[in-house]
Amino acid sequence: MNEERVIIIDNKSNFVEQTRKLLLKLGFEEDQVWPPTNDVFTNWDAVLLKLDALKRTGFDPRQKQCYLLLDLALDEHNNTYNEGLGQIRSSRAILEDYVLVALTVWADPARKELMGTYIDGVIERTQTQDGDAGVLALKYGLEIALDKWARRTSRKPVKLGLDWFVADSPGARSLLSALSQHAVNKIVGQEAGSWSGVEIDALTGGHSGGHILRIRGFSDRTPVSVVCKISRDKESLEDEIERSRRAAATRVFVGVMAAYQTHIPKDIGEGNFSYIVQADVAGKSVEEVLTQVVPPQRQAALEILFESVRDLGMAVDPLSVDRRSALPALNLSEKDTAVFETSAHVLTQLLEVGRDQFGSAVDLAEKEAVQQFIAMVKNWNTLIAEKFSLVLHVRQHGDFNVRNLFISRKRLQLIDFARYAPWPMGYDLTRLEMQFLLRGIDAATCWDHFSSRMGLWITVWRVLTGAAQSTFPAEYSETVNGARRIALERKDLFTRLTPDYTAEDQKRLIALMRTFDAIKICSYQDASIFKRLWFLQIAIESARTAGLMM
């Protein structure tokens, strides 16, 4: 920013001080902002003389990009805005090189009388209060003025700093294809404009129409964090807030209270996008615990997860259990089916081309089995309606993705209640089981990008399902034992709530839910292609167990 300068012209010392503080938060250095103290002006002659003097001290608008923030009324009572309007008109030749911004309580007259011809921007003084909102209002007012100045003078602008960048990932690329950097800046400015050390990452790929953005940083050296969900569908965000309230009321929620239960969606002002704050506590997602945290801290964090999962099961009221069709909960839309079919064809080609690389001992599905499975998925909804017309349901979170579960302050924090609804018994735990394996095994070391691990993964799955008795590498023990604990909690849930449900019925329903989630995972663009191939294998084996195919 060393090519930029800002001059503040006002008659109130507290306004000068306040504006200077906001500019420093925006990233300007002390020597780029004048006055360095709380100098004020009470007449326009003094203003013009000072501007001439400042040109000799580096605040020359012909040499450097220089913002001139002008109050229109310089009298004691802030009433003589008409004089300011006249002075700006008559001083047009003197002021033309500045990025001219009226920062005033008289914003409406400034827009009506000066905007477009005499000045480049107007900022309402009352919007530039201390805090994140004031920083944001000043930043966007200056950005708009800078664009108009660049067009008016044909000069190349030095853009304001303070662009916040989202860490690269498939989810980030999806987010930035939908939203501009300007919109990202606005969200971060509103929620974290005064933080230091800001880091941003996308937690989802936006497949469901919503993007989840996590913002982390420090406030007075204390770690802080917010998680925001962004969507073009404002009604869906309002619905999610209502679902979170219902979840809390029915004791499904476990852990730290979700922040957005008392919030409303905030407009971004771009493409009808709005967002909500889903969580505002600093913590690590379960995925980060699995891949970034070292023992023994990892074991302690996972123990919090497992204890919370147990509490979740104990909180379910037996009277809330009912029997209904597995649809619509496990419905596959036309889009789901089309996306899976595309991914399955890619995975089939990999399976055929790379079969030798996986090793002769690796028992992978044959091409005919894959084709049969693809045909089954195309007929999924009809088949499920026939074979699973009455299964146990209970209200659940609906998306126990390891990116939706955070360990914060030694408690579990859930986000994203958009899918809170009746789901087949144990669905949350089945989804957590599948996600635990997907994001846990070999992800920290990036060994999941190597075909040589396929045989080990298939062995792990068959050991977990009881289809084989074998050993696996010691480094898998923590993840596998974690998946076993999740499965045990699911078994206890069935036993406590529906003791008359047969073991065979449980087995088939669990296999159905595993198949459903594995179908979705096959299309995950942020998972390695070999992991996706593994989950195609899991989907086929689970479909057979569920009685969906031979």
Regarding whether 495 and 426 lie in a shared domain, the answer is: yes
Regarding whether 339 and 242 lie in a shared domain, the answer is: no
Average pLDDT over residues 412-424: 92
Residue 139 exposure: Cα atoms within 13 Å on the Cβ side: 27
Regarding whether 181 and 132 lie in a shared domain, the answer is: no
Regarding whether 74 and 25 lie in a shared domain, the answer is: yes
Indicate the pLDDT class of residue 541, thresholds 50, 70 and 90: very high
Asked whether residue 447 is assigned to any structural domain, the reply reads yes
CATH code at position 266: 3.30.200
Alpha carbons 321 and 235: distance in angstroms, whole number: 29
Alpha helices in 67-128 (DSSP H): 81-90, 92-95, 107-113
Regarding whether 175 and 85 lie in a shared domain, the answer is: no
Asked whether residue 230 is assigned to any structural domain, the reply reads yes
Asked whether residue 324 is assigned to any structural domain, the reply reads yes
Tokens standing for residue 368: 């005919």
Alpha helices in 388-474 (DSSP H): 427-440, 454-464
Regarding whether 124 and 31 lie in a shared domain, the answer is: yes
Asked whether residue 459 is assigned to any structural domain, the reply reads yes
Q: What is the pTM of this model?
A: 0.74
Regarding whether 331 and 278 lie in a shared domain, the answer is: no
Regarding whether 203 and 95 lie in a shared domain, the answer is: no
pLDDT (tens digit per residue) in 102-147: 999 999 999 999 998 899 999 999 888 766 678 878 888 898 899 8
Boundary residue ending a domain (265, 282, 299): 282
pLDDT of residue 450: 83
Boundary residue ending a domain (235, 254, 282): 282
pLDDT of residue 19: 93
Asked whether residue 408 is assigned to any structural domain, the reply reads no
Q: Per-residue pLDDT for 35 more than 90? A: yes
Asked whether residue 381 is assigned to any structural domain, the reply reads yes
Distance of CA 442 to the CA centre of its chain: 24
Boundary residue ending a domain (127, 153, 179): 153
Classify residue 224 as exposed, middle or buried by CB count within 10 Å of its CB (0-12, 13-18, 19+).
Answer: buried
Number of structural domains (the chain) is 3
Regarding whether 375 and 338 lie in a shared domain, the answer is: yes
Asked whether residue 289 is assigned to any structural domain, the reply reads no
Regarding whether 496 and 362 lie in a shared domain, the answer is: yes
Indicate the pLDDT class of residue 164, thresholds 50, 70 and 90: confident
Residue range of the domain that includes 375:
319-398+419-545
Alpha carbons 250 and 245: distance in angstroms, whole number: 9
Q: Per-residue pLDDT for 359 more than 70? A: no
Average pLDDT over residues 478-495: 94
Regarding whether 137 and 43 lie in a shared domain, the answer is: yes
Asked whether residue 410 is assigned to any structural domain, the reply reads no
Regarding whether 277 and 337 lie in a shared domain, the answer is: no
Helix pair 427-440, 477-497: axis angle to 10 deg: 180
